[in-house]
A and B are shown apart, each in its own frame.
Chain A
């Protein structure tokens, strides 16, 4: 046999080797390990003790965990019900041939997604200050808003929703813009000839056609929101905020695993979170179909 032929046998494995090696070590192994770890109590990374399923029992019995779940759900609801309709609205406004400054507008709306979450937290941390912060001052001069409105003391989750809205609305808008450009124009024209107004065209022609991308964007938002950590962590100086108002599920995981050193307990929290997210992913596949992923990718 020619050397080229024999090379054809092992060459793909050479190309795959780095990927397989790294994945096996840093993805598959820790994944499997985390199942074992979730049934242990650890004292730092070096000492552990088998405790069976009691970690899960402790988590479910911990009011702090439910506090974290509630906060995370509030944030997720804000992302899904405020951010996504706004993103879709912007995309609908922007999706018009011949619009002046379209590239400029798209760039401006998209730019915040490039700013790391930490840096968003740094910016908004100062902007949300009472009395001196820009948010209260701007709202005060516009609508007479209370200058002492305690964003970071009382309304932590609304503050996070606002910051995250700034960061991600343009990112979601770009997805919708792509989907709108694939809406079949002849269907829209046919609907117009049949006398359908803008609202009915939107409901009956546009919505069904952008549904796959829509469910994908919703899934991305839910998965991202459920893993909220860096924004409140930095915004609240590494704490959960007054009265745990900024505590999220991943922050709870971080506190247990890395502040208190119980990696086992943290793994159990991680698995609970993973289960919820995998459930949402399956649900999206079912609602949006496989085409949803492909259309968005």
Chain B
């Protein structure tokens, strides 16, 4: 009986590990394929699934790997400009949105003010609104404000995401104690100074998580820059790389190298700051 049982357990354990590691291997395939593809010329691109076979170490023709795709990208396309645009747009939006949301969330958590109920209702309601509903009227508004084809037309509308206010309100309620605010008041500290000197440091975990989520969201966003921007010199990586697919439709190595350049920075950031990322992303993020 016990022998039978432990044999069963061993079998389920083997099955569990096999399924999980096989699944993980499948999940990794596109990443490995992406890295390999970026360093192959067009002849090898489809000649081999991952690395070109040859006489070298491990049966791989290492000498056939090439940096030509990257050379061509930097010399023949505005990819460098797109990278700078992406870094600028993502960091500025992340910084501004985090400050705006932290201030509003803290105010809604720690002050008794008029219309608080109405404002909270608005925050919750706007989380439900699908962003696609705002595409057409938002475009018309930016046209009237003369903000089309400018970075501000992307940054300002994204500066106050409601779910950020919601997250910072929760964080303020749980990690900025009322007693501390009172104590600072008794010491003669002004209200705005209490926010910057007392509250912000206590909100740091949420600040870093939210900055990362926002940075990632802007970096990966396609539809907004696609609609708002018109000049190629302003395109971020998402739009610029998608255009490679149309312009260099037969040059797969080039497309894949551009994709790798866009994906690698955020994956690197993720591996560095993993814990903030996972808790932040699942704390109310809505996928697109």
Contacts and interface: CB of A to CB of B under 8 A. Distances in A.
A297 B285 CA distance: 9
A29 to B, nearest CB: 7
Interface in A125-142: 125-127, 132, 134, 137-138
Contact of B267 (A33, A90, A114): A114
Interface of A is mostly: helix
B206 interface: no
B39 to A, nearest CB: 15
Contacts of B82: none
A27 B143 CA distance: 15
B30 A23 contact: no
Decide if the interface of chain B is mainly helix, strand, loop or mixed: helix
Contacts of A16: 103-104, 107-108, 119
Given A13-B113, A15-B103, A253-B135, 7 more contacts: A37-B136, A106-B278, A114-B263, A116-B266, A123-B30, A125-B245, A223-B130
A147 to B, nearest CB: 12
B221 interface: yes
B288 A127 contact: no
B286 interface: yes
A11 to B, nearest CB: 3
A257 B203 CA distance: 41
A115 B263 CA distance: 6
A225 B80 CA distance: 33
Contact of B159 (A14, A18, A123): A18
A143 to B, nearest CB: 14
Given A37-B140, A119-B220, A31 B134 contact: yes
B195 A15 contact: yes
Nearest to A237: B246
A266 interface: yes
Contacts of A106: 278
Nearest to A274: B133
B173 to A, nearest CB: 13
B274 interface: yes
B28 interface: yes
B180 interface: no
A12 B113 contact: yes
Interface string A163-176: 00010101100110
Contacts of B20: 90, 93-94, 105
Nearest to A175: B282
A34 B185 contact: no
Contacts of B157: 22, 26
Interface in A18-48: 18-20, 22-23, 25-31, 33-34, 37, 42, 45-46
A53 interface: no
A229 B227 CA distance: 13
A124 B107 CA distance: 45
